[in-house]
Chain A
């Protein structure tokens, strides 16, 4: 699509790719952020993402309404979240272990029910046109914006406000930082974590929907390519701050778009290397942010502990 523009196509493609590729990251990382703020880790969001993608695609195909597909994807996430929320809070159960099991479970469900939807094409989400009418078709195509992206943009500041200025937000932070303190205040740790995990999974499910109904807009079994797991790294990078999650998601989305956009202007060398950019970025973040000498600012005090 960027061929007509020559080298200008590269930044344009990256901007477009940032919005497209960043959307699932945005939903999953916001979901993970909410979950981790309550003190539990949900690695299972990788599975939730796949289940969400499959459900959205399937429901959109069967009913003809992509919006119903999105809702169904969120609900499917909610169900997976409630399983994780219940299991990971049982006595002597580790949330990371449950998360890995949930990755396998979620992808298994998606592959099992998704088989019949690989071939047919489902109605896609309509997009909004950002560019005016007098630009070249290449630019116009690049600047198609999904309402899901806008929704994600709105949720990030909303979540920040939620953590700061609502009683429930304070509960979530209290439970994640100091369960003993929360218990002393009569807050039910089980309920708060359960609801946080479920809401987080709901968002991740919608993230899945954006994969299959927006970009790349198909349903295949390899569609998530580890984005759910990268979102966990992204949340650490974002210091558990929803607004930074937003910028970090865009960064990851941009990194993902690097390979394809260079390819579109004919750079073939190192194609696979550029495609690996998000993974390299994840590794780098992990290395840079870990240090035995200081604790991470913003990390919920009880994150990943068995209590």
Chain B
């Protein structure tokens, strides 16, 4: 076994090591998240890791990084077994990771985060020298991020670039990316992955990327490994596989996407009306203002825009999580202030983004979270008493119907994989039969293709039943596929409106960029 001290530091590795995973197993309680999995990341290759939500992809890479201690299994670097106890060890072997959730410290500046990420080093930081070194580094790096800006003020795309920059700054030779493009626009994703691909082709870097996007895998990856329910389900060279092959490996069966079928509805009535609506960001600056918006029954209105242009605040106002600074909202012809009673009376459902933070109580169980909307009404309550049996039964039903992968209804929702949290919230919100208004923000963020298909079908079905749908998304393809009418928001203003059938791609792009 190689010991750490005898190992060259990351800085001295001139070529990425060859990484082999043998029989990796990880158990959480009774759940086998990873079951005897083996894979091989060749030196200087771009390897994609595929699998459904909850397949164990994040668990596998966290075991490689030493973030989790595997129950069994070993790692070989260039053929030598190594023991990685924590991310710091991994770094010393030249392995770095960009996590599914951002790992920069929001209150610190870009420069502080970069310096902090460098393990060890002097106790006292000479900022003058550091800033100079960082400037020099930035000038040679593939992307630029302003050094003095606090992370909290960066847009999602910039944050993601910073996460990758951090690893380049640390001279990582094996870069693990956990759904790196879920927060990027397609153009940004291509830019970032393209630049990384160049480094891989030059033999300077190996990449292990988790992704749900076949398009990216086909365009950038050399090889794939597929996981299914924690087990190895297949691998191969991208050049010899089709998207259908990969999908089949993931699901264990062939699956064709459900075609979108919209029925046109007679006598559409306005359900949601916002008049001169405005709201402020957390720091008191206006997030959006003077917004007029109408959504009719049986209509999907899509709101496109780059993240951070006021969409989040708009959804929060409509979902009752933020106070409006100006204007008013009407639902079904009545004033609406998004109280719980009003949401129930008008049958308004909301799927906010980052559901674990915005729509769940993270440490409460899946069943309890699924009952948040209905626990105080029959049949789940009798007077002031909760009927736990009924709550559990409903949860079991929803877990089956929406195929939420959870060890049990009693598992804390925060232990579910990213995609399954989304499903649990969706199950809760779509469970009532007579919803009239659905407000969804990035509903397919981080979901596997089968789940995306499922959710798209649910949304279209709701629309065809006469539900008014407001769909806020950063994924333009999703909006073009689903919505009847498309609106672009930029800097808190609607800059473009059109029927989707007549929408122009170029004009949308311009409007998103704020011209």
Contact = CB atoms under 8 A, between A and B. Distances in A.
Given A174-B108, A177-B107, A184 B67 contact: yes
A185 B103 contact: yes
Interface in A272-307: 292-295, 297-298, 300-301, 306
B127 A170 contact: no
B105 A181 contact: yes
Q: How large is the interface on A (under 10, 10 to 19, 20 to 34, 35 or more residues)?
A: 20 to 34
A167 B121 contact: yes
B103 A180 contact: yes
Nearest to A188: B86
Most buried by A among B91, B104, B122: B104
Given A165-B125, A166-B124, A170-B112, A186 B88 contact: yes
Contacts of A20: none
B106 A301 contact: yes
Interface in B481-495: none
A297 B87 CA distance: 31
Given A165-B125, A165-B127, A177 B108 contact: yes
B124 A165 contact: yes
A251 to B, nearest CB: 25
Contact of B105 (A168, A178, A294): A178
Contact of A170 (B97, B102, B115): B115
Contacts of B105: 173-174, 177-178, 181-182
A292 B119 contact: no
Nearest to A296: B282
A183 interface: yes
A52 to B, nearest CB: 28
Contacts of B99: 180, 184
Contacts of A292: 323
Q: How large is the interface on B (under 10, 10 to 19, 20 to 34, 35 or more residues)?
A: 20 to 34
Interface string A127-166: 0000000000000000000000000000000000000111
B125 A178 contact: no
Most buried by B among A178, A298, A300, A301: A178
Contact of A295 (B87, B88, B89, B282): B282
B284 A186 contact: no
B282 A178 contact: no
B266 interface: no
B512 to A, nearest CB: 28
Contacts of B86: 186
Interface of A: 164-168, 170-171, 173-174, 177-178, 180-186, 292-295, 297-298, 300-301, 306
21 contacts: A165-B124, A167-B122, A167-B124, A167-B125, A170-B112, A170-B116, A170-B125, A171-B116, A173-B108, A174-B105, A178-B103, A178-B106, A178-B107, A180-B103, A183-B67, A183-B87, A184-B103, A292-B323, A293-B284, A294-B283, A301-B106
Given A167-B121, A177-B107, 9 more contacts: A168-B123, A174-B105, A178-B104, A183-B67, A184-B67, A184-B97, A185-B87, A294-B283, A294-B284
